[in-house]
Amino acid sequence: MANKVAKKKKIEKPSNKIGKGEKELKIKERILKECLKIITEKGANSLNMREVARNLKISHATPYRHFATKDDVLSELGIMGFRIFNEFLEKDLPLPSTKDAIIQRFHKLKENYILFATKYPELYNIIFNTRLPDKEEYPELMEVGRKAFSTLLNQMAAMKASGLIDVEDIFLASIFTHTLIHGMVSMQNINMIEGMCKGFGYEKDLHQGIDALLAKAWGLEPKLFMKLTKELQ
Q: Are residues 56 and 157 in the same domain?
A: no
What is the DSSP track for 76-123?
A: HHHHHHHHHHHHHHTTTPPPS-SHHHHHHHHHHHHHHHHHHHHH-HHH
| Assigned domain for 95 exists | yes
Q: pTM score > 0.85 for this model? A: no
Q: Are residues 45 and 76 in the same domain?
A: no
CA angle 88, 228, 89 (to 5 degrees): 5
130-158 b/e (C-beta count within 10 Å ≥ 16 → b)? bebbebeebeebbebbeebeebbbebbbb
Structural domain ending residue among the three candidates 68, 99, 131: 68
Rounded to whole angstroms, what are the CA distances from 191 to 36, 85, 96, 121, 130? Answer: 21, 22, 34, 12, 19
| Assigned domain for 160 exists | yes
pLDDT in tens for each of the 233 residues of the chain?
445 555 555 555 544 555 566 777 789 999 999 999 999 999 999 999 999 999 999 999 999 999 999 999 999 999 999 999 999 999 999 998 998 899 889 889 989 999 999 999 999 999 998 999 988 899 999 999 999 999 999 999 999 999 888 888 999 999 998 998 888 888 877 777 777 777 777 776 767 777 777 777 777 766 666 655 555 45
> Domain with 111 in it: what CATH number?
1.10.357.10
> Domain with 50 in it: what CATH number?
1.10.10
Q: Are residues 153 and 207 in the same domain?
A: yes
